[in-house]
């Protein structure tokens, strides 16, 4: 059964709202990738921060008062009329919520514990529920007074891509008539210091698939879709999931899990590799990820699909990355892209000669004009968890 992506709200380092994000995405604008205000392990790290004032949470209960939920609210507000219309039509019990996250409100929790360590007591702003991974879904359900299924998924960097697949299953099973789905993650000390401890962060703008790549930049974002069975221009046509469990943090070097997830996505969408007009790469700019993804893409797409990593524009938004990069495919397919441009690949142009060369897009690259259009987005995570999604013109 086809699932339609009827509405999209998003906020990330590229801006707020579909129009601004699409404009800067398609121009390859990385100007908001700026140094984090704190040095991490003695280094100044570029991050994809959302700047400016975020929406007020008003009289929300203390357990919901986090920056993570403020980011989520910024995305929800963009599609608020669509959400209320769906709730009115289907009823609160028939609207589900599936959100992906890896940070939730960990920043507020760690600040509270630091205060306890320093002063001997927790601040009045502390609530244990801030750090619970179910918090984003609970916040949405309570704010919109929904009684349908509501849960969060936390599978590291595939969390929100998996949330879209789970939302589609709720529709396919007839459990829901509409699902609010996507992901949200916030910049926090734990992830910045954790990835630095793994020697996975770069002190420069990340450089995916370059011979000179030396690590990721971290970012924050929220991307939320309204998914229903009701026809609209853009659909989630299929998806594939795999778990190669090669290593706790390193991918299978031959990309076997990535090959499986991409192949399953193509099969579920009834699509041939040559019908994919664009591939949003996971493209973290780490040595191991880019090496295995190059091998996997070359295996699945022998005809050299146009592709790019958008992480130099937003940072790696971790649990939000899957939904955010699916949103970039949605924007590329939408009315916000009248010139049919493809998201460009920002890098230094230095190919890694040890790897297959991918067909990386430049600024101004246009999609093949034929229809129907199909686009894939890859998300890979710790533990060998892999998701590939296919979006395209509604059948």
Q: What pLDDT is attached to residue 157?
A: 97
Q: Is the pLDDT of residue 385 over 80?
A: yes
Per-residue confidence (pLDDT) for residue 250, from 0 to 100: 80
Of the candidates 201, 172, 191, 270, the residue with the CA atom closest to the CA atom of residue 46: 201
Q: What is the pLDDT of residue 253?
A: 86
HSE-CB at 75 with a 13 A cutoff on CA atoms is 33
Q: Is-above-0.95 flag for pTM?
A: yes
Q: What is the pLDDT of residue 247?
A: 80
Confidence of residue 82 (pLDDT cuts 50, 70, 90): very high
Inter-CA distances, 97 with 49, 143, 178, 299, Å: 26, 12, 9, 36
Give residue 204's domain range: 3-393
Say what the pLDDT of residue 235 is: 98
Lowest mean pLDDT among 74-78, 223-227, 246-250, 313-317: 246-250
pLDDT above 90: residue 303: no
CA atoms within a 13 Å half-sphere pointing along the CA-CB vector of 201:
25
**What mean pLDDT is predicted for residues 34-48?**
93
Q: Which residues are catalytic, by number?
A: 157, 282, 316
Is 241 in contact with 162 (CB distance < 8 Å)?
A: yes
What percent of the chain shows pLDDT beyond 90? 93
Is the pLDDT confidence value at 249 over 80? no
pLDDT in tens, 167-176: 999 999 999 9
Average pLDDT over residues 131-152: 97
- Rounded to the nearest angstrom, the gap between the alpha carbon of residue 121 and the centroid of all alpha carbons in its chain is 36
Number of domains in the chain: 1
CATH of the domain at 371: 3.40.47.10
- DSSP per position, 326-346: HHHHHHHHSTT-TT-B-----
pLDDT exceeds 80 at position 108: yes
Q: Are strands 218-219 and 385-393 parallel, antiparallel or unpaired?
A: unpaired
């Amino acid at each position: 059964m086809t699932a339609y992506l009827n509405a999209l709200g998003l906020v990330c380092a590229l801006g707020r709202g579909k129009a601004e994000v699409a404009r800067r995405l398609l121009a390859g604008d990385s100007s908001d990738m700026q140094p984090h205000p704190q040095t991490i392990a003695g280094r100044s790290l570029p991050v994809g921060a959302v700047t400016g004032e975020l929406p007020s949470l008003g009289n929300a209960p203390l357990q919901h008062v986090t920056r993570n939920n403020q980011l989520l609210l910024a995305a929800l507000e963009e599609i608020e009329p669509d959400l209320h219309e769906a709730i009115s039509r289907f009823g609160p019990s028939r609207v589900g919520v599936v959100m992906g996250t890896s940070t939730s409100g960990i920043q507020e929790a760690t600040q509270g514990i630091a205060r306890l360590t320093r002063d001997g007591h927790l601040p009045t702003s502390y609530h244990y529920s801030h750090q619970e991974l179910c918090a984003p879904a609970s916040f949405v359900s309570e704010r919109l007074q929904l009684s349908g299924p509501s849960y969060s998924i936390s599978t590291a960097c595939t969390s929100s891509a998996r949330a879209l697949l789970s939302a589609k299953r709720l529709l396919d099973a007839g459990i829901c008539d509409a699902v609010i789905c996507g992901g949200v993650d916030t910049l926090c000390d734990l992830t910045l210091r954790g990835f630095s401890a793994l020697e996975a962060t770069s002190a420069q703008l990340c450089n995916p698939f370059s011979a000179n790549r030396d690590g990721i930049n971290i970012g924050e974002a929220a991307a939320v879709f309204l998914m229903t069975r009701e026809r609209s221009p853009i659909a989630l046509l299929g998806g594939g999931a795999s778990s190669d469990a090669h290593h706790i943090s390193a991918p299978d070097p031959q990309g076997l899990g990535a090959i499986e997830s991409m192949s399953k996505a193509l099969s579920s969408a009834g699509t041939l590799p040559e019908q994919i007009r664009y591939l949003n790469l996971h493209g973290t700019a780490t040595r191991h990820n880019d090496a295995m993804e190059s091998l996997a893409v070359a295996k699945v797409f022998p005809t050299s699909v146009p592709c790019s990593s958008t992480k130099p524009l937003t940072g790696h938004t971790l649990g939000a990355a899957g939904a955010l990069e699916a949103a970039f495919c949605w924007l590329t397919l939408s009315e916000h892209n009248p010139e049919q441009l493809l998201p460009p690949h920002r890098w230094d142009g230095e190919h890694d000669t040890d790897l297959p060369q991918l067909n990386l897009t430049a600024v101004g690259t246009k999609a093949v004009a034929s229809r129907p259009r199909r686009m894939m987005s890859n998300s890979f995570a710790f533990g060998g968890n892999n998701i590939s999604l296919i979006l395209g013109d509604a059948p």
